[in-house]
Amino acid sequence: MRLRQSLKTGLSFGLTSGIITTIGLMVGLEAGTNSRLVVIGGILTIAIADAFSDALGIHLAKESENKHSMKAIWEATFTTFLAKFFIALTFLAPVMLLSLITAIIVSVIWGLSLLAILSYYLARMEKIQAWRVIGEHLSIAILVIFITHLVGDYIKLTFQ
């Protein structure tokens, strides 16, 4: 299946950003507050505000390249928004159904799995070694998880 470049841009950016941003936020908020309500609020904020922000960012970036049709720009914009919005919402189910710490673990596994699958498909499309792409992308995501957990711990220790 061949996707237009504008759709590939929106999907790859929206999904990657949705996965990494949502997991990072969830891990940091859980570490800092241990509050299901705060984590749910964070996920919904990512799904709405950050999806709009990323979509506008893609829109402006594509416009600034001065080489895309308005149709392609809007396709990338809407695809980015929808991908980020819906992928962020998938992280709600574990938080609402499981204990918070279990939900965080399940969400991290879910997000890293999705990122690995996306990375695999991107590597295949580009005809490059999948393990390198997967390793690079998962390393960045794990770094984000580690740092946001440390920040959450620091906030809890400092302001409690």
Q: Counting Cβ atoms within 10 Å, is residue 2 exposed (0-12), middle (13-18) or buried (19+)?
A: exposed
50 located within any domain: yes
160 located within any domain: no
88 located within any domain: yes
143 located within any domain: yes
* Residue located via tokens 């929808």: 82
Range of the domain at 55: 5-154
Helix (H) or strand (E) holding 37: helix 36-45
Quote the number of domains for the chain: 1
128 located within any domain: yes
Dump pLDDT digits (tens) for 21-62: 999 999 999 999 999 999 999 999 999 999 999 999 999 999
pTM comes to 0.94
Q: Counting Cβ atoms within 10 Å, is residue 158 exposed (0-12), middle (13-18) or buried (19+)?
A: exposed
159 located within any domain: no
Most confident of 3-7, 8-12, 83-87: 83-87
